[in-house]
Structure 1
């Protein structure tokens, strides 16, 4: 691998990071974790398409309502906004490097490799592969002016919203195919060994791909909105953040109640992000939310670690709890894992500059081993 050693081409120094963005990323990771553990590790990801199930516990019903209405797709949309902003930040910070395009393309290529490994060998609910592919589409647009980024974002989001109302024929698998997959998942994920789970995970990939295809346009549009938020200076404009947050949350909630979930989800994600960024910009906000910053700085490592841990807890090659827990019990396990990651991330970053996977990602991107220990220059 050819190394890039110019002075202008190097990773962002941890001291130069924007803490509020790390805080937001750490909080967003909680929402992603909650949905993953409750709806994708506890039971089959496709069970939700077979209609609502009768829950034995009123607590489970309440928790499910909160997760589906306030968290579910909003957390993933928020992560997409953050990824787009992060890509734009790196693009702009590498402006003086003649290797900028090659570096960022390599960064996305490495992410794609990580995503495929995660998708095939660890958990097929992976989002990294989709993010890498969307990133390749967004990257050329970052060379354009803000109006072009804004226009492209609106076009991609409009196309996504149009597909919600008029999905192409055959876009989704049949109900019969989904039902068979859920029945097989209940048996194999719950009792199968690692190779059995691996084989079934690979067999599910065409079904998983249809889910990603359905939201791919939204992902691109949200990447571009995140990039626009950075380019316009909104990320650091506390007053503007609150001006956006309040109406976005109010309108998003109203649209959800009115049955316009796709658009409501996007607006709620924008509102959540603006509110948390704005609050985290105040000194009091930093004190109350600062615990999430280390988790956000290590979001890549923590995301993959959650997949490994939850796979062992729920699948047959581990504790085999798949299909045996209620929503509240599964969420409690997820919260325990999340809290452990909060403590571990703070401990790790007192000693090291990056999380383990973040360090590997940067080293492969630049083609040079990056300093890892805090004392290293």
Structure 2
């Protein structure tokens, strides 16, 4: 099997996941709630919001989760090769990830996914030795559970519509005011993330574990390239209509066929999100070693924790009142390219740090906690 840290497919998937997550998250750090939770007024902003909903929302956090599950299997094998206890490493890693997640939610971005990943990673651990078939069946069950959770979200919103915050409050203020706004928003946001992302993240974790066991991301496993070529048209034919339906409901005027049709459009993301994510994986898998990323982006992808957190830090400095104060100054049409640029800048900075010091700052902390003091420093994170 190709060495995980020198796999062009995995490098590209990591980079794509980081960019896609930034595209989805930035509006929640740069716009008032009234703009993020309602249909945009200007046509360019409507188009950008639709593009984000159709091609990015509930796709790239699933991809990130898939890679997390893939990495869990790689780390388990590395621990066994080193003669270490995989369980001890895993639980220390999950505890530290949860602590970083809480700090990230309060001081950087209330929509943090790290705490959720820690919770899901803890729940998935007992399945680490399961067969690929059992893991895929578990993933399908999680999609069904996601439908139930999305129906619960829809019912809750119907009973109690969200109260939109004033455009000049919270994130537009100074740093202390921003932290207080995040603290107030975080409990409700965490519940939403658990319901909206939790089951799909768990399913993607399981799928990533299965992919690692089957060498799906190994460029030398040519059979998977052939299977991806066969599956891609089917995945696109299923995924695109479902995600367009979701986009029309989440960011557009709705489907126009009544409330039940709009509910079905909203629920369609539970299937459409994973299916289009699989299509993205197939596209990158088919490109294989032909994808040659700049060295700094490769390093940043291998230090994705630092890259992810730095996105929020830079967004705060650009849009927060304690930085450039550009909160609410740009619509969705501008935020789409800005988010891509911000993701690339954060990755280049983390890549430069990793080139100079060997790894990103948060990866350094995570490794120190994950490994016993007596373990070899050469063990893979």
TM normalised by structure 1 equals 0.83
Shift of 1:366: 0.5
**Does residue 115 of structure 1 match 2:120?**
no
Q: Does structure 2 conserve the Cα–Cα contact (< 8 Å) formed by 1:149 and 1:224? A: yes
Alignment correspondent of 2:40: 53
**CA deviation map 1:160-187 (0-9, x unaligned):** 1233345596488821xx224x22x642
**Does residue 65 of structure 1 match 2:50?**
yes
Q: Which of 330-339 and 138-147 deviates more?
A: 330-339
SS at 2:163 equivalent: helix
Alignment correspondent of 1:8: none
**Does residue 174 of structure 1 match 2:174?**
no
**CA deviation map 1:147-202 (0-9, x unaligned):** 33222222222111233345596488821xx224x22x642221x22111111211
Shift of 1:271: 0.9
Shift of 1:229: 1.4
**Does residue 95 of structure 1 match 2:80?**
yes
**1: distance between equivalents of 2:374 and 2:278?**
36
Alignment correspondent of 1:205: 186
Gap runs ≥5 in structure 2: 219-223, 246-264
Quickly say closer, same or farther: Cα 1:338–1:156, change in 2 above 3 A.
closer
**Does residue 40 of structure 1 match 2:28?**
yes
Q: Does structure 2 conserve the Cα–Cα contact (< 8 Å) formed by 1:255 and 1:261? A: yes
Residues 339-358 of structure 1: pairs in structure 2 closer than 5 A? 339-358=344-363
Residues 1-377 of structure 1: pairs in structure 2 closer than 5 A? 16-37=5-26, 39-44=27-32, 47-49=35-37, 51-55=38-42, 58-96=43-81, 97-165=83-151, 170=156, 174-175=160-161, 178-180=162-164, 182-183=165-166, 186-190=168-172, 192-215=173-196, 216-236=198-218, 237-257=224-244, 259=265, 260-279=268-287, 281-282=288-289, 285-287=290-292, 292-368=297-373
SS at 1:317 equivalent: coil
Q: Which of 157-166 and 354-363 deviates more?
A: 157-166
Shift of 1:322: 1.4
**CA deviation map 1:203-250 (0-9, x unaligned):** 112220221121211211111111111112222233233333332222
**CA deviation map 1:38-60 (0-9, x unaligned):** x21111457544x31312xx433
**1: distance between equivalents of 2:175 and 2:36?**
25
**2: distance between equivalents of 1:274 and 1:15?**
18
SS at 1:214 equivalent: helix
Query: How many residues are paired up?
Result: 349
CA-atom RMSD in angstroms: 2.8
**CA deviation map 1:75-130 (0-9, x unaligned):** 22211111111112212332343511111111111111110111112221111010
Alignment correspondent of 1:5: none
Quickly say closer, same or farther: Cα 1:371–1:23, change in 2 above 3 A.
farther
Shift of 1:353: 2.6
Quickly say closer, same or farther: Cα 1:173–1:360, change in 2 above 3 A.
farther
SS at 1:73 equivalent: coil
